[in-house]
Structure 1
Amino acid sequence: MGYEFDFSSVLTDQYIDWLISGVRITLLLTAGAWIIAFVIAVVLAVLRATNFRPAVWLVAVFVEVHQNIPLLVQVLFWYFAMPELLPEAWRDWLVRNNSEFILAMIAIAMCTAAYMSEALRSGLRAVPVTQYEAGRSFGFNYLQTMSYIVVPQALRLSVPPMVNHSLLLFKNTSIAMAIGVHELTYQTRQIDSDTFRTFEVFLVATGLYLVLSFIIMFVGNLIERRFSMGTR
């Protein structure tokens, strides 16, 4: 006998609310991790562009560690190991303020920052040397030259890979399920456990992930075109 599809059992009001909640948590996790990752990536890329060898070495170690350790292991490390190194007051604060979400966001952000920093470093290397000289001619120091002249141009050049890393970050949020973050994949598993309609519920979740991914890609393409027009 063939498989009988039954979406009515997984699209009840209760389960739709669970899915909406999962989407909301996924988007919040994506946004928070992206902001943290972007800020760290800019700092790492600028430090690696300096001639200060200790800073260059430390950034290189950070990038290699986060690029070569599975993200799941990083998330588990942040959740189970890192709190042990914190003062008791900080641990208590994390417990009271959704430690699973916060630590998953930090872990995903750190990993993404390693990849974003490499994209930004490539952008920095593509900026002509004359731009650095222009900064010096205006009397800018190194930090001012990077902030006002070089980094903005590097960001424009880095938009395509940054969009790809942003999409990857969004998809990586599903790993947060491993430590109990109630994002979309977690809620999907909960509905599956309640209904035993594995195919239907994961098909719905797949559709939601596809729609959200297409939206991110669409927004990224708009940003890329806008920056491209700005450079003409």
Structure 2
Amino acid sequence: MLVYDFKWSILWEEPYGGWLLSGVATTVKLGIICCFLSLLMGIIIGTFRITRNRPLRIFAEAYTEFFRDIPLLVQLFFWYFAMPTLLPEQTRIWMYQEIPNFEFWIVVVGLSLYSSSRMAEQIRAGINSISPDQLNAALSSGFSHYQAYRYIILPLAVRLVIPPLTTEALTVFKNTALAMTVGVLETTFMSQQVEAYTFHGLEATTAACIIYMIITLVVVGIMGLLEKKLAIPGLIIRKGAC
């Protein structure tokens, strides 16, 4: 009967500890960039979803449904394997050979598009929850529609939907694990690399689980502090945030 030989020390021995730290750094970098881009694009698309401009509204609806309904893994495969084949050969060669860390930026594109379609719906819900009187008051004060949304409606909407945006931010960081499928050396990839070299899969996988748990707890903590700081007096906020 085989007996598993536990060896937790591999998690900090070289080079395995260095591999895991490198993977964590890539995961955090990827998550932060994608969260920022997703929120930025989500605000734009979410605003387009309720605009009176019909072409913009149709574009936003199509964008949301397309990127939200297709599994993220399929989208990553498309951007990495299929999309380059649609480009001229010289452009394709330039992308693969001249763009540093090409796989990383492909994941940034795919994950940001996917996550922004989900965040856009949260932003749209936040805008719709604001009384039309807010917009009418701004317009009657001399604001243009653009100024009213930029200075009044959107700031209020984003503050109202911080709790669901927290969930989306967590999803972004957890979805970075799929980056390993296109060769990005993030936490999950590195944990599997450690397993392949040491045959200690339990330790390596446990380390990956703990790392993701720590990252998500940090994100929740930061978003909780942000929610407290930006809470709007008199409006419902997440329980325990005041």
Deviation at 1:107, TM superposition (A): 0.3
The 8 Å contact of residues 75 and 110 in structure 2, kept in 1 or not, is answered as yes
Residue equivalent to 2:209:
206
Deviation at 1:91, TM superposition (A): 5.4
The 8 Å contact of residues 10 and 195 in structure 1, kept in 2 or not, is answered as no
Deviation at 1:135, TM superposition (A): 1.5
What are the ranges of 5 or more consecutive residues in structure 2 without an aligned counterpart? Answer: 235-242
Q: Give the secondary structure class of the aligned counterpart of 1:4.
A: coil
Match of 1:132 among 135, 139, 158: 135
Pairwise mapping of residues 35-114 of structure 1 onto structure 2 (< 5 A)? 35-86=36-87, 88-89=90-91, 92-93=94-95, 95-96=97-98, 97-114=100-117
Match of 1:120 among 104, 118, 123: 123
- Superposition misfits of 4+ residues, deviation over 6 angstroms: none
Deviation at 1:211, TM superposition (A): 0.9
Match of 1:154 among 144, 153, 157: 157
What are the ranges of 5 or more consecutive residues in structure 1 without an aligned counterpart? Answer: none
Deviation at 1:183, TM superposition (A): 0.5
Higher mean C-alpha displacement, 162-171 vs 12-21: 12-21
Give the TM-score, by structure 2 length.
0.90
Higher mean C-alpha displacement, 212-221 vs 55-64: 55-64
The 8 Å contact of residues 72 and 175 in structure 1, kept in 2 or not, is answered as yes
User: What amino acid is the match of 1:125?
Assistant: N
Please, what is the CA RMSD of the aligned residues? 1.6
* Whole-Å separation in 2 of the counterparts to 1:124 and 1:52: 16
Instruction: Report the identity percentage.
Output: 32
Number of residue equivalences: 231
* Whole-Å separation in 2 of the counterparts to 1:91 and 1:170: 30
* Whole-Å separation in 1 of the counterparts to 2:85 and 2:145: 39
The structure whose residues are more often helix, as a share, is: 1
Give the TM-score, by structure 1 length.
0.94
The 8 Å contact of residues 18 and 187 in structure 1, kept in 2 or not, is answered as yes
Deviation at 1:86, TM superposition (A): 4.0
